[in-house]
Amino acid sequence: KAGVTQTPRYLIKTRGQQVTLSCSPISGHRSVSWYQQTPGQGLQFLFEYFSETQRNKGNFPGRFSGRQFSNSRSEMNVSTLELGDSALYLCASSLRVDAGRANYGYTFGSGTRLTVV
């Protein structure tokens, strides 16, 4: 069965622009979460969506937003891009919302590498 698909794989944007990243979860998975990965900070949780509703949110500014569609596909938007937004953005899908309680496995996509110049 197909894995988690993220598009595009690579993206170059200039400061001040906005960007939209897409994530298609594994068929049947209804939870999609987003992460930012940078060499200095490692992986950081952005937000999680389940049934088109944001269920959990990390500590990122309001420039970072997301949404989920009825088919569970999710998009993440970053507005007014800054140089520091350059990172690998990963999305992961799961059957259900995992409130930190363990037993639901997350499957990650290969990520979108965003470079802001």
Partner 1 sequence: KNQVEQSPQSLIILEGKNCTLQCNYTVSPFSNLRWYKQDTGRGPVSLTIMTFSENTKSNGRYTATLDADTKQSSLHITASQLSDSASYICVVGSVGGTYKYIFGTGTRLKVLA
Q: List contacts with partner 1 (CB under 8 A).
A: 4, 41-45, 48, 56-59, 90, 92, 98-103, 105-106, 108-111
Nearest approach in angstroms of CB 3 to partner 1 is 9
Cis link prior to 39 (omega < 30° from 0)?
A: no
Nearest approach in angstroms of CB 22 to partner 1 is 15
Nearest approach in angstroms of CB 40 to partner 1 is 8
Report the residue number, 3 or 16, with the smaller CB distance to partner 1. Answer: 3
Give bridge partners of residue 39 from the DSSP assignment: none
